[in-house]
Structure 1
């Protein structure tokens, strides 16, 4: 099939963060429990399907009424990071689970590197189950109504949180129709993104169209995002994220089996095994749901990275006087700046854990701004200047150095 490209025309009005509505809630809920992606794996064979435009395919995704599914999928992630293994306290994020090996905020960070096999089931926004099948000891995460349970089979520890799956109400009015949603997504791409339909694929035995999203701005580390969409029901099935550097995908995650029938209620039932240590977590954590990248996707992603990065490094916190990150630029080349108000530690002054992080993947850089340390991955880079400023985003080294040199 020839590629059909759609670029939005400039329209007035406020840009809406409409991308999150593009993925059916049941699928997005499961994805959020892992690494914020809707995964699938393309098999061999390219089915002959009717031609469809990018706008029509986005409308098809939006119109999907998929609320239930089950299946098995594989996630491969290659950020170009060393094995952190708890190198820096706090990188796992706030979990509230103390030392529990079942705490999801710590356990699911394992998905950030390597290849993993998972079994998943979903029945609407209130019930999801994910089981990590690596090795002989399973790890399960279950959301059933107001309860979230996690069980680590190896240690026989259980983590429980009441009401954690909820979150603050979003007051932004969602799009009324699939066409309106498509319009908003394409408007959000305004001048920064190309959206195309690029052929077809077989995904876990199902016919699918391939939606390709590419940044049009120079300086982004994102090469492309490819999503396979079920031709019959519009459910996103395949997600592959490629770095602008090329090579092995940063994320290649995929269903090997998928079934859209409703799972039995017993799948989401959980009772702590006899003798298990049960840890109660703090309720009320707010977790957003991801969707297709829109105009604000790079900003949201960069902000999450900068805030997580700051939590993991002593002295970075929320920045000077408790101020949050400052946004520089827009679209895929958005950079988050955080002024910590404290100089970076000198060699020999840093805690052992922090020094290990610096030595693992930090490179010294210089410029008009002075000097600092650049932390590289295949997707997100961060520059920590010696005077305590942090610049982070899914952008190249040159883009970070330019921002620091400009004193922005």
Structure 2
């Protein structure tokens, strides 16, 4: 096993990662009605089969190896899961665009791939350069696939027998390994790793913590931890292929311990050229085909806005709220892993209440059950918690949200007064 080595501040290596690829942003959904949703987390269901003896490498050298990695061809199988500790199954997807809206398509990638934000999934991926990628989500008796082949994107949902078709400019996949994934929804360990490394700074400790074998390949283990107290994030562990620098496995652990919140890992991977047939697609006979330009973006057939996320609720890790500062109506408090977004609710009102806001008592009880009542110098409010992202909604119409503890949110609200 390689000895530990550390690099407390990465500097140029981090800049290289940022410069080489545009990192997609973590989505931090927050319901104005008062429910904090979550960032994305994946947990690979594969065990290390041994600790190979590899040459010593520093953290900075390993990050540079990730940045320099330019594998254009691969195929493999991944295990993905999410355990955010939400009080209700599927709550994470309740405030994101979904295929149930009229005027949408069950096969549209921006809807279907959001399912990866909760539960456990098996994926197959293939890539042959920037213009040919395929991603399939395998169900018990169904399969959903997105195929990007040069100027076209096809998506097929076998369960609904629906097809989605869109034009795509050549080289559209140059910065992404997965076709047409919604912004903020990474689907491979590499995409997760690049998002995290792009924001590494002086609030972060980065070390090499031994070696592992993932999907039959030797790998170094890069460990990233917050230096700050008060974060709900315990650590990020990235298994990096020793030969080509490709991240093979990504694990996000909560500071509270227990099952990993986030992990994505290959169970099988092959870096040879995939068969050309992987990227061919013809709609099955009788399948419903929807063209992308038939769908009116952002509205249903009656002209009503579809449910979705305001742009200001997007950020990067670490901290999850990086990139929010300067957004209209948003003030970012602190920095790094313990940054908190302070958001003004239009109208200056907090959560709706039974009677005065016209909601039934049963609905009021449901909202109360989801959160914890808190008080402080700021007044009073309710904290909605996941294992990763928490939000304080005050009774006077402010929201404080971040990957921080309940106490950190209360301190931020007190300090804002």
Counterpart of 2:387 in structure 1 is 378
Q: Aligned equivalents of 1:90 and 1:43: distance in 2? A: 36
2:208 corresponds to: 197
Match runs of 1:2-401 below 5 Å: 2-8=3-9, 19-20=17-18, 41-85=46-90, 90-92=95-97, 98-163=103-168, 166=172, 189-281=200-292, 297-299=317-319, 301-302=320-321, 323-342=328-347, 343-348=349-354, 349=357, 358-359=367-368, 361-401=370-410
Question: Is contact 1:335–1:400 with CA below 8 Å preserved after alignment?
Answer: yes
Instruction: State the 1:387 CA deviation.
Output: 1.7
Mark the runs of 5 or more structure 1 residues left unpaired by the alignment: 170-184, 286-294, 308-317
CA distance in 2, matches of 1:40, 1:124: 28
**Structure 2 CA distance for aligned equivalents of residues 152 and 405 of structure 1:** 49
Quick one: distance in 2 between partners of 1:404 and 1:62? Answer: 39
Identify if the C-alpha distance between structure 1 residues 401 and 281 changes in structure 2 by more than 3 Å, giving closer, same or farther. Answer: farther
Q: In structure 2, do the counterparts of structure 1 residues 188 and 363 end up closer, same or farther at CA, with 3 Å as the change threshold?
A: closer
C-alpha RMSD of the superposition? 4.0
Deviates more, 1:198-207 or 1:43-52: 43-52
Bigger mean CA offset, 210-219 vs 95-104: 95-104
The alignment partner of 1:227 has SS state of strand
Provide TM-score, normalisation by structure 2: 0.74
CA distance in 1, matches of 2:14, 2:67: 16
* TM-score (norm. length: structure 1): 0.76
SS in 1 for 2:283: coil
- Sort the Cα spacing of 1:82 and 1:129 in 2 relative to 1 into closer, same or farther, 3 A: farther
Q: Cα distance, 1:250 vs. partner? A: 0.3
CA distance in 2, matches of 1:116, 1:187: 26
Give SS of 2:274's match: coil
Task: For 1:5 and 1:261, locate their aligned partners in 2 and report how far apart those are by CA, in whole Å.
Answer: 33
Q: Are the counterparts in 2 of residues 87 and 354 from structure 1 also a CA contact under 8 Å?
A: no
Deviations 1:322-369 (A, max 9, x none): 934222111111111211222124333376898697356322222111
Instruction: Report the CA distance between 1:214 and its aligned residue.
Output: 0.5
Q: How many residues align?
A: 360
Q: SS where residue 150 of structure 1 aligns?
A: strand
SS in 1 for 2:416: coil
DSSP 3-state at the match of 1:101: coil
Query: Aligned-pair distance for 1:199?
Result: 0.5
Question: Gapped runs of 5+ residues in structure 2?
Answer: 28-39, 176-195, 298-314
For 2:185, the equivalent position in structure 1 comes to none
Q: Is the 8 A contact 1:63 1:234 kept in 2?
A: yes
1:8 and 1:186 in contact (8 A); partners too:
no
Q: Is the 8 A contact 1:221 1:379 kept in 2?
A: yes
